[in-house]
Amino acid sequence: EAGVAQSPRYKIIEKRQSVAFWCNPISGHATLYWYQQILGQGPKLLIQFQNNGVVDDSQLPKDRFSAERLKGVDSTLKIQPAKLEDSAVYLCASSFPPGLSTDTQYFGPGTRLTVL
Amino acid sequence: GEDVEQSLFLSVREGDSSVINCTYTDSSSTYLYWYKQEPGAGLQLLTYIFSNMDMKQDQRLTVLLNKKDKHLSLRIADTQTGDSAIYFCAFYSSASKIIFGSGTRLSIRP
């Protein structure tokens, strides 16, 4: 079974530039998550989708971050404009809907963003 | 608020047992997890335990849950060099999201 795919794996940009990350979840997983993992910390949830609807975006800095999952499968996360403090690994995860199975989330390899 | 606390570092000798501990805040959590993260990789689910259990064993891994004290531990028997990684404790919160600790970096010495 294919895992969660993410691209690119690495991205280096200058502050005030824009960047986008892509995620393809495990087939059949209706729930998709984007996390930000700053060096030395655990992942912090940015946004959660159920199919193509947003379930929780309470920790998403909406002035600069946006995410979409138009067809309920792939998702993109965008940062515009980037700040130095956005340097982190952006992890995508997917799962069956909450309440089914063990609520286990499966993670992709992440995109490491460096903002100079 | 919802939180998970873990010690930052653990160093063990190859072949010994490793015990990684964490404490969490949400007494109503249903599932508790241990994830492993190797350098440059995403998080890999190692094991999980349902909140009505107090122990789960899976090959070299033993998970102990003390629900009264909100304490979770992961024991790795016969620790090998391939076990070097960061281990994250996490729980499924009443707000329907997973809360992660900051991770414990496990290093193995020969």
> Which residues in chain A belong to E strands, given as ranges?
5-7, 10-13, 19-24, 31-37, 44-50, 53-56, 65-68, 75-79, 88-95, 106-107, 111-115
Q: Which of A33, A106, A81 is nearest to B43 (CA)?
A: A106
Other beta carbons within 10 angstroms of residue A106's beta carbon come to 20
Average pLDDT, chain A: 92
- Interface contact flag, B97 A40, Cβ < 8 Å: no
Give per-residue pLDDT as tens, A65-115: 999 998 889 999 999 999 999 999 999 999 887 666 666 889 999 999 999
Q: What is the pLDDT along chain B (110 residues), one digit of tens a residue?
A: 678 999 999 999 999 999 999 999 877 778 899 999 998 888 999 999 988 889 999 999 999 999 999 999 999 999 999 999 999 999 888 777 888 999 999 999 98
Return the pLDDT at A101. 61
Interface contact A107-B42, CB threshold 8 A: yes
The structure tokens listed for A46 are 């940015």
Mean pLDDT of chain B: 91
**Bond from prior residue into B110 cis (ω within 30 degrees of 0):** no
Q: What is the pLDDT of residue B72?
A: 95
Q: Is the pLDDT of residue A54 over 90?
A: yes
Compute CA distances A54 → A27, A49, A97, whole Å.
Answer: 19, 5, 13
A contacts of B48 (beta carbons < 8 Å): 102, 104
The answer to whether the Cβ–Cβ distance between B42 and A108 falls below 8 Å is yes
Chain A residues touching B97 at Cβ < 8 A: 45, 48, 56
